[in-house]
Structure 1
Amino acid sequence: METTNHPRADAPRTLLLVDDDEPFRERLARAMEKRGFDVTTAGNLNDAQTLAREVRPTYAVLDLRLADGSGLDIVAVLRETRPDCRIVMLTAYGNIATAVAAVKAGAVDYLSKPADADAVEAALMHMGGDSALPPPPSDPMPADRVRWEHIQRVFEQCGRNVSETARRLKMHRRTLQRILAKHAPRG
């Protein structure tokens, strides 16, 4: 069973680009336009879902973590309106749990930010059957990073429900919220 869909060769190269970091979004949009894509941009979840229904893009590049939600919530709309849409998730919070969640939701690739336009185009146009997950790290992660990764994995398994995640991790809900609001520890 082939799980990776490809737009027809004669399909327009329409691209929905969703990121709440405006300078990054605009810079990537210009670079993708130079590569022949007709780019539509959005900076939040609501606008992105509306544009996904209106534009029905053949390609999408989605930021995983938006100020008002998750890029994973846009994937369902894209799959509903255009099942062959090629979706790439971008995130500054890269970890294996969210990569797996993105691929299960329907993304064909997962790139860490800041990704350049060449990497984004390569991921969008990759026609192999396998989606690319991040390679395993060559150096072991520090303990605080391992802890953060574990919390993120449980958070994704709980459907991003803070209360349920806090119960499973046996920690106070507010403590968990503070941890989730922070960037990943360097490592």
Structure 2
Amino acid sequence: MMTERQLLIVEDDEAFARTLKRSFERRGYDVLLADSLERVTALLTTNRPGFAVVDLKLGPQSGLACVAALHAHDPAMLIVVLTGFASIATAVEAIKLGATNYLAKPSNTDDIEAAFARSGGNPATPLAPRPTSIKTLEWEHIHEVLKDSDFNISEAARRLGMHRRTLARKLDKRQVR
């Protein structure tokens, strides 16, 4: 089934998924929900959504696999990655895999709809006025290692050469929700 305003929300947090669903339905979208790559694949056999919102971290899975599957299914689909674990490394990978935009949580329905509208790049975007700080570089490196270890905190801590609790504390300090 194909509708012009069909939206697929891929989110493992049931409460957040239901809230997003209701909000988008009030705006006239036909909303489908999935919580894993397997559920996405099953839904794509009978549906062809034009829009998707994908959480970057789906339990033990990475939402990047869902982005790749959605883009392979329909390259014209507008896909927004929504995450509480934002980093430059995952943003770049999401865009390479077919996402049209990448938003850090907390983001609301207005932010997501605006991201759908901004599917093209803007060459007039100003360059950052100052270089990246050491803390930001550390944060991005941690998230790159987390992504490479499939978001397994113990494995990421081992690869970073730090104690698992130290890494968990660093993640709790900077986590965006």
Query: Shorter-chain TM-score category?
Result: 0.7 to 0.9
Match of 2:19, SS? helix
CA deviations on 1:2-25 (whole Å, 9 max, x unpaired) are xxxxxxxxx611110011111111
> What residue number does 1:183 align with?
171
Structure 1 residue 152, shift from structure 2 partner = 1.7
Task: For residue 116 of structure 1, report the CA deviation from its aligned partner.
Answer: 0.4
Q: Cα deviation per residue 1:9-65 (whole Å; 9 max; x = unaligned)?
A: xx6111100111111111111111111211001123321232234322111000000
Per the normalisation by structure 2, the TM-score is 0.76
Out of 14, 17, 25, the residue aligned to residue 17 of structure 2 is 25
Give 5+ residue unaligned stretches, structure 2. Answer: none
Alignment partner for residue 171 of structure 1, among 158, 161, 168? 161
With normalisation by structure 1, the TM-score equals 0.72
User: 1:38 and 2:26 equivalent?
Assistant: no
Unaligned runs of 5+ in 1: 1-10
1:99 aligns with 2:87: no
- Shift, 1:140, TM fit: 7.0
Q: Verify: 1:112 aligned to 2:98, yes or no.
A: no
CA RMSD of aligned residues (A): 3.7
Q: Secondary structure at the match of 2:82?
A: strand
- Counterpart-to-counterpart distance in 2, 1:21 and 1:89: 15
For the structure 1 residues 179 and 47, does the alpha-carbon distance in structure 2 shift closer, same or farther, using more than 3 Å as the test?
Answer: farther
Match of 2:42 among 27, 47, 50: 50
Separation (CA, whole Å) in 2 of partners of 1:70 and 1:181: 21
Identity of matched residues, % = 39
Whole-angstrom CA distance in 2 between matches of 1:20 and 1:57 = 19
